[in-house]
Every structure is written in C-alpha cells, then in structure tokens.
Chains A and B, each alone.
Chain A
C-alpha cells in the first residue's frame, strides 16, 4: 500500500488485528483473514495475485472468499488474476 492509502493497524494478539482505514471504518480481522492481511502489511502493495498469496498462507480454504472480504473492506484495491 502506498501513502495514498491511509490506514492504521494494531495487533493485541497475532491472530487478531484491528484495522482502521482512512475512510473511518474499523474492522476486526481474525484468523486466516488476519494472516493474509499481515502479508500486505509486510509487503505493502495495492495489488495482489491469489496464487502468490496461496504460497504464503497455511489454509487455502476459502482463500478467494477471504480476499473478497478484504476487498469489500477496502483493504485490497485490485486483484490481478
């Protein structure tokens, strides 16, 4: 994510992230969703490829659902697949 995408994230536990976007929305991310979002935090990018994500997450079940959830929350901007 670049500087145009303002956000704040805090983590009280590794599997629980609280995310606050520039739009004012706050979300709680749990489990796999938190794990996936951590990847974007470590390597900020406004785009992603599902196959690259798949290599890095433990659970591939419902990955597309999780990615869509992040997109709906405006946490991911564009899917490149």
Chain B
C-alpha cells in the first residue's frame, strides 16, 4: 500500500492513444521527462476517467537520504520492488508497459514495435537484443508513423492495429547510433546501470502523436535480427512458424484462450511474414521496407 503522506507535486491526466493515464509523481526526472517526451499529448481534466492511475514516488524514511529509491504504484498496488532514484523515468515507462500488457485484454497484445506508412502497418516483433526498437526509431525518423515501439495491440473487432505511441526506449549503443544518425531526434537524459544497461527515451515524432487515434491495417510482420557480420536480407517466413513465434511473444495470448488463437490467426492471415537480418545499415533497411510496403499496397 502507498503511504498516505507520500509527497506528490505533479499530477496530470494524459491521453495516450486508446488509453487515459493519470500520473502522479514527486520525482523531478519524471516531471521533466514527461514535459519533454509527452509535450504534444492531450491533457485531460482530473475528473476524466483514467484507465490507469500510476504514481512514481520516493518512499519516506531513511531511503530519502541513503541510496534513494523510487516506487511505481498502479492504483494502490506496487507490482515491483523499488528501483534506484535515478531510474525513475524509465521505471515509469516500464511500469506503464506492464499496466497495458497486463490489463488491456480487449486487444491481442504482442511484444513488437509497429509503424505505419501508406496506410499499411509494419509489425516488428522481437526478443530484447533483436534490434526492433533501434529499427523502429530509425523508421519513425524517416517518415514512418509510430504506433508503438513495444506493444502491438490488435483489435479483433476491426481487424486493425490500435496505436499507443509513446517514447521509444533505446539501449546502450543504439542511443548514440540513433542520436548521431538523426540529429533532430529529442532524447531524455541517458540513465545508466539499469537492468537493461544504459537507457534513453526518444520523443515520438509530432505527426505520430497527432494521429494517435488513427488505427492502421496490419500488412507485414517482419522478425528483425541484428547481426553485424551479416548482409542485409529479407526472406519469406512461413505463416505457421510466424504464428508460433507471435504466440510466444504475445503478452496475453494464453489469457485470451480461443479468442487469442482466432485473433492471432486473423492477424497472421492478413499479413505477409518475413525474417529480416540487418547489420545496422539504416539506409538500406529503409529502402527495403519502403519497397516492401509499396509492393503490398
């Protein structure tokens, strides 16, 4: 339970795609991070219904002075152990991922980046280290619309992908790589020594934020694999195996049961599926995806 006297000096209700999120925090890195990264998002009134009520706060007591920590709370529940104070902003993002993936079961949720161009959504599922967020950051800085860098939400009733455009989480070498390649991109300060290494959050492009309610037609699923010693290749991947990989990468496929199976089948059936190996050459990768999406269109 949250202590009633936990200090709160910031409160905001943000519209983030399909969700409304109430945020309360006393941590300056989070307030500054939200001001920077969520600058163009619609603010709602305190009276509006919020899907998720999250708090990031520093616990009272000795921890305020010695190895300061932060808690993440969802409603009155703390699902995680506290993290070092310096990690408050990524903690907020990770916590919000957890809220959506754990509770938004009206969608089939896949651990995948998803971007859109020419009305066609390109889904990039991948385990950590596959390079999906790096590719996603490169794509959205090259004219693609960000739907999500982490959670692909498939809505069965419409057969469309529901956007939830939030900051792109980049790690380690990817931070400098994207920063140096796309000098206009805005980043939060880098946080070091997290469980994922160094982490920085990239602000979503303005256009993606403006169009956060525009759903997109799923068209292609590409499983990326970053391999620095390999040549770029895009090869068809059979749909049955793609189905199995997507099921593994889904957060709520087992929760949805038969509905999950049918949703995933419909998603895979309407997409072309590929494996993609790349060595970090964004220009070639962008050309490849552009050509692919135009062919499909």
Which residues of A are at the interface with B, using a C-beta cutoff of 8 A? 6, 8, 10-13, 16-18, 20, 24, 26, 28
B238 interface residue per 8 A CB criterion? yes
Whether B240 lies near A28 (C-beta < 8 A) is: yes
Q: A8-B258, A8-B262, A10-B265 are in contact. Are A26 and B244 (CB under 8 A)?
A: yes
CA distance A11 to B47 in the complex (A): 49
Known: A8-B262, A10-B265, A12-B268. Contact between A28 and B257, CB under 8 A? no
Chain A: CB-nearest residue to B268: A12
User: In the complex the two chains form, is A12's CB within 8 Å of B261's CB?
Assistant: no
B239 to A12, Cβ gap below 8 A? Answer: yes
Contacts between chains A and B (CB distance < 8 A), count: 36
Known: A10-B265, A26-B247. A16 touches B241 (CB 8 A): yes
User: Which residues of B are at the interface with A, using a C-beta cutoff of 8 A?
Assistant: 238-241, 243-244, 247, 253-254, 257-258, 261-262, 265, 268-269
In the assembled complex, the Cα of A10 lies from the Cα of B239 at a distance in Å of: 11
Question: In the complex, which of the residues B239, B254, B268 has the most CB atoms of chain A within 10 Å of its own CB atom?
Answer: B239
B238 touching A20, Cβ below 8 Å: no
> What are 24 inter-chain pairs, A to B, with CB distance below 8 A?
A6-B258, A8-B258, A10-B243, A10-B265, A11-B240, A12-B240, A12-B243, A12-B268, A13-B238, A13-B239, A13-B240, A16-B238, A16-B240, A16-B241, A18-B240, A20-B258, A20-B261, A24-B257, A26-B244, A26-B247, A28-B240, A28-B241, A28-B243, A28-B244
* In the bound complex, CA of A64 to CA of B244 (Å): 25
| A10 CA to B261 CA, complexed, in Å | 10
| A6: nearest chain-B partner, CB-CB | B258
What residue in chain A is nearest B244 (Cβ atoms)?
A28
A12 touches B238 (CB 8 A): yes
CB distance from B275 to the nearest CB of A (A): 16
Q: A13-B238, A26-B261, A28-B240 are in contact. List 8 more A-B contacts (CB 8 A).
A: A6-B258, A10-B243, A13-B240, A16-B238, A16-B241, A18-B265, A26-B253, A28-B244
Smallest CB gap from A20: residue in B: B261
Residue of B nearest to A34 (CB): B240
Query: Which B residues touch A13, using CB under 8 A?
Result: 238-240
Cα distance A28–B238 in the bound complex, in angstroms: 12
A24 contact set on B, CB distance < 8 A = 254, 257
Q: Closest residue to A30 on the B side, CB-wise?
A: B240
Distance of A75 from chain B, by nearest CB (Å): 15
Quick one: closest A residue to B273, CB to CB?
A12
- In the assembly, what is the distance between CA of A17 and CA of B262, in Å? 14
**B243 surroundings in chain A (CB, below 8 A):** 10, 12, 18, 28
B238 contacts across to A, CB distance below 8 A:
12-13, 16
CA distance A6 to B258 in the complex (A): 10
With both beta carbons as reference points, the residue of chain B lying nearest to A15 in the complex is identified as B240
User: Contacts A24-B254, A26-B247 given: A8-B261 contact, CB under 8 Å?
Assistant: yes
Q: How far is the CB of A13 from chain B (nearest CB, A)?
A: 6
Give me the 9 closest cross-chain CB pairs, A-B, nearest first.
Answer: A16-B240, A12-B239, A20-B261, A12-B240, A28-B244, A10-B265, A18-B243, A8-B261, A18-B240
